[in-house]
Amino acid sequence: MSEKKYVITVSRQFGSLGRPIARKLAERLGIKYYDRDIVDMTAKKMNMRASEIVELEESVQGGFFRMKYPLGMGTGNIRDQIFENQKTIIKELAEKESCVIVGRCADSILSAYENTMHVYIYASAEKRFENCKKEFGMEPDEARRMMLEVDKARERYHLEYAGYLPQDPNHKNLMIDAGILGVDKTVELLENYVKLFLQCETYKKTNKCIQF
């Protein structure tokens, strides 16, 4: 693997299993994985308890609420402050070490960074529906509702803070249907892609690599 630091940002559809894929990819590559722990870092930076950022989400809707509202439901000013602090933290992580970062507009925040690749993971509605029931233990009606609401919320968040939708191919190096290969095979494909990406002459010249 490359001796230089590199970063992989992962955006995903709800129910595509993008989070476990990202975590396993980091394990396979032997690099750090950052996701919800960024909330803890943000809380520390803002001299708050992490629970102060998420307690409203958890008390109202439970664990999946935070997926719908990554910055909570505070005023616009508070949400902007949280985002700006997360932005600083994401940049610090990227400058510090090789890592995988999930969500939080990391693709936009790190768009100008070298050796950074941006991945979008999706799956068919049918496959995501099955994943929601099997992996998350959701009832059918809840699964359908969450698939719709979480994706809409993520799109609004990304559009507001990045200026484009998370599935915009103009801002991605690879978009992959994880429903076809499943978690382990998707991780294997991504691992191979990362190795090729870091060797890609086109990327070295233009900061973009030829897509599969």
What is the maximum span of the chain, computed from C-alpha positions, in angstroms? 50
Domain range summary for the chain, segments of one domain joined by +: 7-193
CATH fold group of domain 7-193: Rossmann fold (3.40.50)
Residue 73 pLDDT more than 70? no
- Tell me the residue type at 159: L
164 in Cβ contact with 172 (< 8 Å): no
pLDDT at 130 over 50: yes
Pair of tokens at residue 200 = 């890609």
pLDDT tens for each residue of 145-179: 999 998 988 898 899 899 999 999 999 999 999 99
State the CB neighbour count (10 A cutoff) for residue 106.
29
Q: By C-alpha distance, which of 45, 46, 24 is closest to 35?
A: 24
List the structure tokens of 1. Answer: 């693997």
pLDDT computed for residue 30 by the predictor: 95
pLDDT by residue (tens digit) across 7-58?
999 999 999 999 999 999 999 999 999 998 888 888 888 877 666 655 433 3
> What per-residue confidence (pLDDT) applies to 70?
55
| pLDDT tens readout for residues 175-190 | 999 999 999 999 999 9
Instruction: State the amino acid at position 41 in one-letter form.
Output: M
